């Protein structure tokens, strides 16, 4: 697998610098083999995150010394624990509409999903629209990002939602806000998209 680093999507998502979702677009030279290919894409994305965490540790050591750097660690993972369930594109790309915003700034949406702040699995729309420190992004921004992410349409997407108990990458989200991990195979473009979401206040 190799990352599609020059994909126009990265320019689009760059306009949403407060987004905490980690997107990775990649292509596999091997033929698509269902959930096994998805798992390979998820592992590729995790290894990319691990590489970033190692680079961050080196930078911290150079800037602030070993004592600070030692508090940072590369993400660990156990792909054997990662479990996936298929979900349909309509559920994955669901865009709630705002019913109202209360006087405290809490947004009420036209859907049944309730955030109980348990640190569990969150839907993709929540990961984009309801980040811990707020973004001001609305439904139209979410639609624009997804149009750039799936420019050939969404009718032939193969999507899996993964558990988030297989890596400490997701620990921050488990504290409170929640976490998410999804893999998408776009059959039109023969490419994979993996999304990780994990954040805390």
Domain boundaries, the chain: 2-198
Rounded CA separation 71/157 (Å): 40
pLDDT computed for residue 6 by the predictor: 95
* Structure confidence by residue, pLDDT tens digits, 105-137: 666 565 665 665 566 789 999 999 888 877 778
Q: With 70 as the cut, is the pLDDT of residue 54 above it?
A: no
Rounded CA separation 81/78 (Å): 6
Q: With 60 as the cut, is the pLDDT of residue 8 above it?
A: yes
Tell me the sheet residues that pair with 87: 159
DSSP H helices in 71-184 = 89-92, 124-129, 139-149, 171-175
Q: What would the two tokens of residue 13 be? A: 């998502």
pLDDT computed for residue 59 by the predictor: 62
Average pLDDT rounded to a whole number, residues 54-68? 66
* Structure confidence by residue, pLDDT tens digits, 144-191: 999 999 999 999 999 999 999 999 999 988 988 889 999 999 999 999
Tell me the sheet residues that pair with 85: 161
């Amino acid at each position: 697998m190799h990352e599609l680093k020059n994909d126009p999507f990265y320019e689009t998502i760059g306009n949403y610098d407060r987004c905490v979702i980690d997107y990775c677009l990649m292509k596999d030279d091997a033929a698509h083999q269902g959930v096994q290919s998805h798992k390979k894409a998820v592992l590729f994305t995790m290894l990319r995150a691990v590489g970033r965490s190692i680079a961050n540790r080196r930078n911290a050591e150079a800037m602030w010394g070993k004592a600070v750097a030692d508090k940072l660690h590369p993400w660990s993972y156990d792909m054997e624990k990662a479990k996936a369930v298929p979900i349909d594109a309509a559920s994955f790309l669901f865009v709630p509409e705002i019913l109202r915003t209360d006087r405290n700034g809490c947004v009420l949406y036209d859907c049944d999903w309730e955030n109980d702040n348990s640190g569990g699995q969150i839907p993709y729309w929540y990961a984009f629209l309801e980040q811990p420190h707020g973004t001001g992004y609305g439904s139209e921004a979410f639609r624009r990002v997804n149009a750039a992410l799936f420019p050939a349409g969404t009718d032939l997407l193969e999507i899996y939602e993964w558990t988030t108990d297989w890596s400490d990458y997701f620990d921050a989200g488990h504290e409170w806000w929640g976490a998410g991990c999804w893999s998408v195979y776009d059959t039109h473009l023969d490419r994979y998209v993996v999304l990780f979401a994990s954040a805390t206040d």
